[in-house]
Copies of this chain bind each other. A is one copy, B any other.
Amino acid sequence: MREQLVFRAISDPTRRSIMAMLSDGERSLNDITANYEMTRPAVAKHLKILERGGLISVRSQGRERLHRLQPDALKTVADWVNFFSQFWDEKLENLKQAVEMDDE
C-alpha cells in the first residue's frame, strides 16, 4: 500500500521540515544535515523514508547525491483530506438549512 508509505513519511516533524527545506531547491545530504542536531546517518534514514513514500527523488552528481522534492506524491494526502472537507462547514450548512426551513 503506497498510501500508507506517504502517511507514514509525513508523520515525522523532521521529515516535514526536510520537505519544506527541499521546496527551496535540491540539496545534498550534508547540506540538509547541517540544519539539524542529529547525525548524518539519521538524516539519511529520514531521506530514505521520504524516498520510499515517493515524496522526494535522488540523483547522483559526481560524489554528491541531490535530493529533490516530488510534491505530487502529496496529492494522495490532499485527496484524503478533501473527502472530509465536505464536513468542515457542516454546521454552517445545517444553519443554512434551518434558515431555509424557517422561510417555508
Which chain A residues have a beta carbon within 8 Å of chain B's beta carbons?
1, 4, 7-8, 10-11, 13, 16, 19-20, 23, 69, 71-72, 74-75, 77-78, 80-81, 83-85, 87-88, 90
Main secondary structure of the interface of A (DSSP, over half): helix
By a CB distance below 8 angstroms, the chain B residues around A20 are 83
Residues A69 and B81 in contact, CB atoms below 8 Å apart: no
Residues B1 and A7 in contact, CB atoms below 8 Å apart: no
Residues A19 and B84 in contact, CB atoms below 8 Å apart: yes
A64 CA / B97 CA spacing, docked (Å): 30
Residues B78 and A85 in contact, CB atoms below 8 Å apart: yes
By a CB distance below 8 angstroms, the chain B residues around A7 are 10-11, 13, 16
In whole Å, how far is A72's beta carbon from the nearest beta carbon of chain B?
Answer: 6
